[in-house]
Every structure is written in structure tokens, then in C-alpha cells.
Homo-oligomer: A and B are copies of this chain.
Amino acid sequence: MREIRVLMNGVTGRMGMNQHLIRSILAIRAQGGIPSASGEMIMPVPILVGRPAAATRLQRLVDRLAPEHGALETTTDLDAALAEKRNEIYFDATLTQTRVDGVNKAIEAGKAIYCEKPTATETAVAVALARKAEAAGVKNGVVQDKLWLPGIRKLKYLIDTGFFGRILTVRGEFGYWVFDGEHQPTQRPSWNYRKEDGGGMMVDMFCHWRYVLDNIFGAVKSVSALGAIHIPQRRDEQGKPYACTADDAAYGTFELEGDIICQFNSSWAVRVRRDDLLTLQVDGTNGSAVAGLRDCVVQHDAQTPKPVWNPDIDSPIDFFEGWSRVPTRDLFDNAFKVQWELFLQHVVDDTPFRWNLMEGAKGVQLAELGLKSWQERRWLDVPPLG
């Protein structure tokens, strides 16, 4: 058994707690760890870190988890915890504004770094962080969970097996209707819609689209983006009206390597008439696919109908038929957990792990360029980083 102590900073938040602590680290513990190259099982040991002000919330969390997961360590002294040599990994899921500080300290303390996206609010800072980690020789990674969504894995399978022929286009549709809180309580945090609090669709989602496009289809070469504040006023968690200052929708067009055009709409003001909350339609010379979060349907050239435009009669073709479902041939584990396992093996066994801080910086870059394109009303090239 190879125990590895992980400082987990910011796991009292919803995402940190559910996806990283419970469904990833504790789930890995519950299954008995993961195999290392040496044959030993790698067993992560979480130490929950919080600011002194969060002491009570940390304790309540530990109490709640105790019956099922036993006593978990906590600390409110990050510096002391970083000073302890036996703590090998520093994980950060705090607010974007505090992340840079925490990661900086951890690099200086020689820890392996793993953190949520975005790694910073400005590209320059994100790149500096990545370089610093590189210079310090510490292993590092950034969360890129959507790469392990079952629907995206199936898409990757189709690409790897040459299903599409030459890929021509990717059409992305993301989002759903977020109620404004007037008659129906809203289902997303109010800070998401305030620029001054770090909200905004481009800042939030272009990080994701960057690594999905780069890793699955081809490197993003240029961007044209338009943002919008469709709903100018919403009500917050207390029912109080507030002005929306951040974009609640982003209409992006990207040019990718390989002459692929990607058109991607992201919106919190759209009603969903499509297969899933996120869909990616890929069209290639030999076939097309539409992937959702978990499922993926395909239409091969052999299945492609030959429609005729005749508005005088009802269409003789049902355009939803003639697509076939890609079977789920393997069980797909939680996406966050899969990436955690890869990172733990990377730390212990030095296996490859390409989703590092520099890759994370690329997401920050695309969000920054998107906002600039919106402002300058023109296409912008995406320069190489570093």
C-alpha cells in the first residue's frame, strides 16, 4: 500500500466536495486504491484545508462524512501543511481569485499541483504559474473533466477508428434555460451573472471548449466571438433583484487545425430541443455523429438520406430516424475520478499526463481572446503559449 497525502483546499464548495472529495478521492479509497507500476495500491489520503473562518464548515463536513468514511484530517493552517514534507499533493478548488496564491505557495513548497480551472483570470498570470511549476520541476495538472464524459469518449472512439473520413465541421450547442428567479427560483448561483464577481459565459466555458477542441479535434487557431446579456436583471439566492453585468450567452466560431470549422453556441437563455444539455455534432466526409453527455448517435454515408426541398407536402423523411446509437460497450467511471486516477499514477509512477498547467493556461487564453474579439468585433488569431 502506497499512501499519498493530498491537501484538498476548497472542498467545502459544491464542486470540490461532491466531485473531487466524495466521488473521486473517497471513492478511490472505497475501492481500495488504484494499482501502481510496482504492484502496490496507491491510496490517497485527503487532508481538508480551509481558511480559519471556515473551521466550523469543515468540521460539519467531516462529521457528516465520518459514519461512512471514518475520521478525515483537517487543517486551517495551509502554510504549516505545505511545510510538512509528507503532504505530497496540493489540490485547489477555491475561488479563482484565491487560486493563484495557493498554487504559488505550493509550487514553492515543492508539492505536486492539481487544480480546478480557470487557473487564473489573465493569461499572463496562468502562463507564469505554469512556467514556475515547470522551472520548479513539480508535477502539475488541471481539471479537464469533459474529456472523460461518456459521450465525448464515444466521439473520440469514432475519430480514432476513422469513422468520419475527413472531419469538416463541429457544431456545439451548450446550455439551457436558467430561470430568472422572478416566479421560479433560479437554479444557478447569482455570481455567475456578475462580471465583478468573476462570472460570465466565456470565462466559464471557453476554458472547457479549448481543451475539448484541442484534444479531440485539432488545435484552435482563431476565434470570433459575440457575447450577450440576454436577461439584464435576475433575482439572487435571497430573492433580491440584481443587475446582470456578465455575458449569459456566447456565440463563438473557431477555426481549428485541419481546416475544421467549429461553431459553438453557449447560452443560459435557450430552451433545449436537442439530444442533451451539451451536444456536439461532427460532420465528416464519410459520416456524422451527435454526442451528448453520455450518448452518441451516428449517421454513416450509407445511412445518409437524399432529401428534396418541397414545402408543399409534409417531409417524407423523419430526420431523427436514420441515426443509430453507439452502444455503451464499457462502463464509464465518473469523469473527475478518472482524471484523478491518471494524476495519482502520474505522481507515483511518472506516467504521462498531458493536461498540465500550461494546457490549463490555454483555456484562460481562449476566454480572454473571446472577450477581446467581442469588443473589437473581429477575428483574432490564437498565438502559441510560452
9 residue pairs, one from A and one from B, having the closest CB atoms: A306-B329, A378-B378, A271-B288, A377-B379, A293-B311, A305-B327, A168-B230, A272-B319, A303-B324
Query: CB of A68 within 8 A of chain B?
Result: no
Q: Are B226 and A176 in contact (CB under 8 A)?
A: no
Q: How far is the CA of A375 from the CA of B167 in the complex (A)?
A: 23
Tell me the bound Cα distance from A286 to B302 in angstroms.
Answer: 13
CA distance A285 to B178 in the complex (A): 11
Query: Is A253 an interface residue, CB under 8 A from the partner?
Result: yes
When chains A and B are docked, how far (Å) is the Cα of A288 from the Cα of B320?
20
**Smallest CB separation, A332 vs chain B (Å):** 9
Q: Which residue of B lies closest to A271 (CB)?
A: B288
Interface-centre pick from A281, A324, A334 (highest chain B CB count, 10 A):
A324
In the complex, the chain B residue whose C-beta lies closest to that of A251 is B263
Asked whether A38 is an interface residue with its Cβ less than 8 Å from the other chain, the reply is no
Known: A276-B315, A319-B274, A325-B303. A330 touches B185 (CB 8 A): yes
- Contact call B176/A302, Cβ cutoff below 8 A: no
Q: Which residues of B contact A325 (CB under 8 A)?
A: 303, 322
Interchain CB contact (< 8 A) of A251 among B261, B299, B315, B330: B261
B contact residues around A97 at 8 Å (CB): none
Quick one: which of A213-263 are within 8 Å of B by CB? 224, 226, 228, 230-231, 249, 251, 253, 259, 261, 263
Of B288, B302, B327, B379, the contact of A158 (CB 8 Å cutoff): B302
Contact with B along A141-168 (1 / 0, CB 8 A): 0000000011100000110110100001
Nearest neighbor of A160 in chain B, beta-carbon distance: B183
Q: Which of B23, B277, B286, B377 contacts A378 (CB 8 A)?
A: B377
Most B C-beta atoms less than 10 A away, residue of A149, A259, A263 = A263
A322 contact from B184, B301, B324, Cβ within 8 A: B324
User: How many interface residues does A have (CB within 8 Å)?
Assistant: 86
CA distance A273 to B317 in the complex (A): 11
Chain B residues whose CB sits within 8 angstroms of the CB of A228 once the complex forms: 168-169, 259, 261
Question: A299–B298 Cα gap in the complex (Å)?
Answer: 11
Whether A29 sits at the interface, judged by CB under 8 Å, is no
A346 within 8 A of B: no
Task: Provide 5 A-B residue pairs closer than 8 Å at the C-beta atoms, listed in order of the A residue.
Answer: A187-B306, A298-B303, A299-B324, A304-B327, A322-B325
Q: Report A174-198 residues with CB < 8 Å from chain B CB.
A: 176-177, 179, 183-185, 187
A355 within 8 A of B: no
Cα A161 to Cα B157 with chains together (Å): 21
A265 contacts B by Cβ under 8 Å: yes
| Docked-complex contact B261 and A226, CB < 8 angstroms | yes
Which residue in chain B gives the minimum CB-CB distance to A326?
B302
Q: Note all chain B residues with C-beta closer than 8 A to A301.
A: 161, 163
A308 to B301, CA, bound (A): 29
Cβ 8 A contact of A283, one of B171, B183, B271, B300:
B271
A277 to B306, CA, bound (A): 11
